[in-house]
Amino acid sequence: MPDSHSGESLLFLTDEQLRQGIEAVFFAYQGFTADPDRILATMAYGRAHHRAIHFINRAPGTTVTNLLAILGVTKQSLNRVLRTLIEDGLVESRVGASDRRERNLYLTEAGLALENRLSDAQRTRMRAAYRDAGPEAVAGFRRVLEAMMDPEMRRRYASLRESSQ
């Protein structure tokens, strides 16, 4: 069993197989972002706004610094996005309770409404893909994705999972 397994793995990991995996990720990611992008295009928003909204919804009260680390962008880049979201009344920024230097970020009613529209669209596609592929495939999908992450991002991903049970 260990022998046959390692043989199977060697056979599997040809450059051609890896290339196909790389292309699959590329094409799948196009589909992944297509539906929210279509919604965002009708407003003055882009993918960056979507990402901010998503993670604020996911971890309400999160700080700017934390969001920066998750998104992996600079303070200036995030701030530009955040400013428009606050101006438009989708995000609320409250001064921190324990540490008044921090800003805790929350979605407003309108922010929640947009978040739902966007993630509904994205979830619909994921749901269909999961259903087509079957539960075992989904488990494998998740395992490979996790293995592809940078260790730091894997930690952040894991802590997000914990925080929502």
Among 56, 85, 103, 107, binds DNA (CB under 7 A): 103
- C-beta of 47 vs 131, nearer to DNA: 47
**Total number of residues binding DNA (CB under 7 A)?**
33
- Token pair 């894991």 is found at 158
Using CB under 7 A as the binding rule, whether residue 54 contacts DNA is answered as no
Using CB under 7 A as the binding rule, whether residue 25 contacts DNA is answered as no
Shortest gap between Cβ of 129 and its own copies (angstroms)? 4
Shortest gap between Cβ of 84 and its own copies (angstroms)? 21
Residue 89 interaction partner, one of DNA, its own copies, none, beta carbon < 5-8 Å per kind? none
Distance CA 91, CA 124 (A): 25
Distance CA 123, CA 100 (A): 36
Helix ranges, the chain (H): 2-12, 15-41, 47-58, 64-71, 75-87, 109-133, 135-148, 151-163
Give just the sign of the alpha carbon dihedral 103, 105, 109, 113: positive
- C-beta of 69 vs 110, nearer to its own copies: 69
Residue 30 interaction partner, one of DNA, its own copies, none, beta carbon < 5-8 Å per kind? its own copies
Using CB under 7 A as the binding rule, whether residue 90 contacts DNA is answered as no
Which span (9-17, 19-27, 46-54, 134-142) binds DNA, by CB under 7 A? 46-54
- 85: number of CA atoms within 13 Å, CB side? 31
Distance CA 113, CA 120 (A): 10
* Amino acid of residue 85: L
Binding residues vs DNA (CB under 7 A): 40, 44-49, 51, 63-65, 71-83, 93, 95-96, 98-103
